[in-house]
Amino acid sequence: MKTITNFIAVFALAAIFTSCNQNDEGGKSGAMASSAAEKVYVSPGEHDEYYAFLSGGYSGNLTVYGLPSGRMLKEIPVFSQFPTNGYGYSEETKDMLKTSFGMVPWGDSHHPDISQTNGEIDGRWIFINENNTPRIARISLETFETEEIIEIPHSAGNHSSSYVTENTEYVVAGTRFSVPYPQQDMPIDEMKGNFRGPLTFIAVGDDGHMEIDFQIDMPGFNYDLSHPGRGESHGWFFFTTYNTEESHTMQEVNASQNDKDFIAAVNWKKISEYVENGGGETMDAEYVHNVFDHDTQTTISTTKNEVLRVDPRDIPGAVYFMPTPKSPHGCDVDPSGEYIIGNGKLSSDLTVHSFSKMLDAIENEEFDGDAYGIPVLNFESTLAGTVKEAGLGPLHTEFDDKGNAYTTFFISSEVVKWKLDTWEVVDRQPSYYSVGHLMISGGNSRKPDGKYMISLNKITKDRYLPTGPELEHSAQLFDISGDKMELLLDFPTHGEPHYAAAIKADKIKENSKKIYRLDENNHKYAAVNESETKMVREGNEVHVYMTTVRSHFAPDNLEGIHVGDKVYFHVTNLEQDFDVPHGFAVIGANTSELLIMPGQTKTITWEPKKPGVWPFYCTDFCSALHQEMQGYIRVSAEGANTPMKWGLDDEYTSN
Ligand code: K7E
Ligand code: CUA
């Protein structure tokens, strides 16, 4: 009951804080506004200084923004079908969304993280997790396309994910919900002591290819967030836990009983060696691994059947628990790797653990019992310091290059800047409104870039023109180069941007792919010049090998299709010029339309329902004669004997 009263106190205070912010103007006028405007102004034709990749949250995608302008540059489809380019609909890409539960057309994404080399972001790939049907995706920063998605078996709510280690050795996936491991039918109220919390380590190859290396069989807590060690602590990974109470109902109260939950410190190097030497046991698992093969331009989808389980109790020194107050959410590691910050979301204080003190405490066996056989370290022994009464509802922390940390406070709607080592608060700025994550370029690396910070806010309210009952969430750009944070810009985001990652534009823009080379197109149904176009009938399936070039299709007249046929339009874009895709749409298509990049082949299926002469056309305004980029397909009744005939400009082929 006491806890419940405390809650009410916290939320009452929250209301005061929030309303206080809302009364605040949060805007600028006069000279201040014009200096802020100058700082975000990117003149027409000029490029932004940074790429920022914002999680799409419940959209399942990833959006790309330029900073400091806040201009949205692209939306990259990842875990959801995407009408703009047919991702997840076209024959080539639909298997990217295949899982052991079948095709899942819409997921929710949370934490993008850019690949690293020697602890610095390198701009090769960006990873992002899907929470609902646990998966991790790898997106190429050459093509800005999703190249690979791996499902995480035995996991449920893949939230403490997808952060990478200092050399991208691993990307991790920790289960949010504890579940029977392996899954089985059992009474829910027998959860305690029986459910488990597997943490999955996925090895990343030099070419980016992901394979699950091992799964650590952890106690049945909820694993919320995670961050890698770096520098001295490279080789370790840290995970926050909540619901160490192991309650299964009314968790808003029952999972908030313990004064402290844990941060799990995982020595993955030790476990990796153990596994290399034959440790662990294989267990049954069913999960799907999808890779987009650039050679054939199609998705190769493989179902896997086993995973390697390791019991941390078999590996001395592999895993420890550090008690951390009040249901910690964020788990953040500073650029030096020495400090691990636990953001206890029901606390007003921030707990900072010291990595070196943790090693000493392990050495000196300063334990405070164990949890299911995993040693619990003494709280005081690992404590580096506490940031006192910094705000209400701390969620996430990022760092700059000058020894400062920045923490978001959801309840008091603010970003608080404080000093590492002295733990003193040096600045605070309101956010509009409730802030979740924040992001500093390179904030999860050894070398953060202390120029800009964005706060990613949940509740937009009056910040933009109203657009019905829901507004897009809001990001706010701050200049953090001086002593005080300065708010420069609000810009709308798409979906719910939990976390984001940014990188200097120079690090990737030169590598950005301009075209797919036609001479490297090994798609099974490609026609790489117009002489290869044709229609091929196999029973009631008809494969149309079609090409596009400004401004016609080849063929553009097709006959000999019948109601009851299944027509595959394999459309190759012959253009070898940057930024000239063509579209393809045919009346009554039940799957999708297509957008085909230069040099690529994409396929949709069409099952004509009615006899007639039906048009198809290009949907992307590609030239002055785009509107002429069209054709006809003749559909005869089922059983009619119209011969197949196709051609362009009155030159026909038939069979
Ligand atoms: Cu705090 Cu999903 Cu990272 Cu959102 S989580 S805020
Ligand atoms: Cu091709 Cu419009």
Identify the pLDDT of residue 26. 57
Q: What are the DSSP calls for 77-125, one per residue?
A: -SSS-BTTTTBTTSTTTGGGGEETTEE-----B---EEEEETTEEEEEE
C-alpha span between 651 and 624 (Å, rounded): 25
When pLDDT is cut at 50, 70 and 90, the band that residue 297 belongs to is very high
Å from CA of 553 to ligand 2 middle: 9
Å from CA of 585 to ligand 2 middle: 11
* Residue of 175, 398, 498 to mutate, ligand 1, most atoms within 8 A of C-beta: 498
Ligand nearest to the backbone CA of 410: 1
C-alpha span between 441 and 72 (Å, rounded): 17
Identify the pLDDT of residue 8. 40
Closest ligand 2 atom number to CA of residue 619: 2
Residue nearest to atom 1 of ligand 2 (CA): 582
In tens, the pLDDT along 460-504 reads 999 999 999 999 999 999 999 999 999 999 999 999 999 999 999
When pLDDT is cut at 50, 70 and 90, the band that residue 14 belongs to is very low
DSSP conformational letter for 411:
T
3-class SS shares of the chain: helix, strand, coil, % to 5:
15, 45, 40
Beta bridge partners of 113: 127
Q: Rounded to whole angstroms, what are the CA distances from 135 to 105, 210, 377, 487, 631?
A: 13, 11, 32, 35, 41
C-alpha span between 424 and 352 (Å, rounded): 12
In tens, the pLDDT along 508-532 reads 999 999 999 999 999 999 999 999 9
Å from CA of 498 to ligand 1 middle: 5
Q: Does any ligand 1 atom lie closer than 6 A to the CB of residue 328?
A: no
* Residue of 108, 109, 161, 225 to mutate, ligand 1, most atoms within 8 A of C-beta: 225
Identify the pLDDT of residue 7. 43
Predicted TM-score (pTM) of this structure: 0.95
**By the 8 A CB rule, do 619 and 627 touch?**
no
Beta bridge partners of 73: none
Percentage of the chain beyond pLDDT 90 is: 93
What residue ranges line ligand 2, CB within 6 angstroms?
A: 548, 551, 582, 618, 620-622, 626, 629
Q: What is the mean pLDDT of the chain?
A: 94
Q: Does any ligand 1 atom lie closer than 6 A to the CB of residue 633?
A: no
Closest ligand 2 atom number to CA of residue 621: 2
Q: Does any ligand 1 atom lie closer than 6 A to the CB of residue 409?
A: no
C-alpha span between 454 and 316 (Å, rounded): 41
Identify the pLDDT of residue 654. 85
- Taking 80 as the threshold, does the pLDDT of residue 315 lie above it? yes
DSSP conformational letter for 382:
H
In tens, the pLDDT along 381-413 reads 999 999 999 999 999 999 999 999 999 999 999
- Taking 60 as the threshold, does the pLDDT of residue 551 lie above it? yes
Residue nearest to atom 2 of ligand 1 (CA): 110
Residue 254 parent element (H or E): helix 251-254
Å from CA of 396 to ligand 1 middle: 8
C-alpha span between 228 and 242 (Å, rounded): 19
Ligand nearest to the backbone CA of 585: 2
Q: Does any ligand 1 atom lie closer than 6 A to the CB of residue 436?
A: yes
Structure-block tokens of residue 406: 């920045």
C-alpha span between 147 and 145 (Å, rounded): 6
Q: Is the peptide bond before 182 cis (omega within 30 degrees of 0)?
A: yes
In tens, the pLDDT along 575-584 reads 999 999 999 9
Q: Which of 357, 266, 368 is nearest to 323 (CA)?
A: 368
C-alpha span between 80 and 15 (Å, rounded): 36
C-alpha span between 628 and 245 (Å, rounded): 67
Q: Rounded to whole angstroms, what are the CA distances from 379 to 233, 243, 353?
A: 19, 18, 9
